[in-house]
């Protein structure tokens, strides 16, 4: 999933039927690439909004890898998701500049306000919270990204306004 997207793709499409066929097709199209796993995973996530755990065996079989190898890559990279994100994804910058300028307090507020931790989605499926390790906006710290839009000098009040809660 690209950082600018929320729960786009074909969110909610399960790994059976059409989704299984979709994943098999993605594997087939990427199989000839050198080291195709990352490309396959990105494409699956772009299409399904996540990489459902039930798709791991399809990917592993198609690329002649073990399920553990595929799962290991999914769990290693923080932008891969195994469940669909909320309609909006909120990225909170965790880089040193943002932390020094109030990012630690902003992080605590965001988690408390949303009632979720990083990697979580609100119960209503609207918002997901994700850490990111630099948004390249250090001069205007702390920063967050919501719906692909960068927001600067975000404090608790500004955060609440951004999320509309």
Per-residue pLDDT of 70-83, as tens digits, reads 999 999 998 899 99
Question: In this structure, what is the dihedral angle of CA atoms 129, 134, 136, 137, given to the nearest 10 degrees?
Answer: 60
Backbone angles phi, psi at 131, to 5 degrees: -85, 155
Higher pLDDT, 18 or 45: 45
Domain 88-163: which CATH number of 3.90.1010.10, 3.40.30.10, 3.30.450.270, 2.60.110.10:
3.40.30.10
pLDDT at residue 61, as a whole number: 97
- Whether the pTM exceeds 0.85: the reply is no
pLDDT digits (tens, 9 = 90+) for 95-141: 999 999 999 999 999 999 999 999 999 999 999 999 999 999 999 99
Of 77, 135, 85, 131, the C-alpha closest to 104 is: 131
Domain chopping of the chain, boundaries? 18-76, 88-163
User: For residue 165, what pLDDT is reported?
Assistant: 73
Q: What is the mean pLDDT of the chain?
A: 91
Q: Would the CA dihedral through 148, 154, 156, 162 be positive or negative?
A: negative
Nearest-CA neighbor of 120 among 111, 129, 112, 110?
129
pLDDT bucket at 146, cuts 50 / 70 / 90: very high
Is pLDDT above 90 for 5? no
pLDDT band at 16 (very low <50, low <70, confident <90, very high): low
Say yes or no to pLDDT of 54 above 50.
yes
Could you give the CA distance from residue 38 to residue 151 in angstroms, rounded to a whole number?
30
């Amino acid at each position: 999933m690209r950082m600018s997207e929320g729960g786009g793709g074909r969110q909610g499409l399960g790994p059976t039927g059409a989704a299984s066929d979709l994943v098999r097709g993605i594997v087939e199209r990427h199989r000839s690439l050198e080291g195709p796993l990352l490309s396959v995973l990105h494409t699956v996530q772009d299409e399904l909004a996540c990489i459902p755990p039930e798709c791991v065996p399809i990917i592993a079989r198609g690329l002649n890898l073990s399920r553990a190898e595929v799962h290991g890559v999914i769990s290693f990279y923080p932008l891969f998701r195994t469940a669909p994100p909320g309609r909006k994804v909120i990225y909170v910058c965790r880089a040193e500049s943002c932390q020094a300028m109030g990012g630690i307090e902003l992080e605590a507020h965001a988690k408390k306000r949303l009632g979720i931790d990083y990697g979580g989605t609100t119960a209503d499926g609207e918002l997901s919270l994700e850490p990111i390790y630099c948004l390249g906006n250090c001069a205007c710290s702390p920063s967050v990204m919501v719906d692909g839009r960068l927001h600067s000098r975000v404090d608790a009040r500004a955060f609440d306004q951004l999320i509309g809660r």
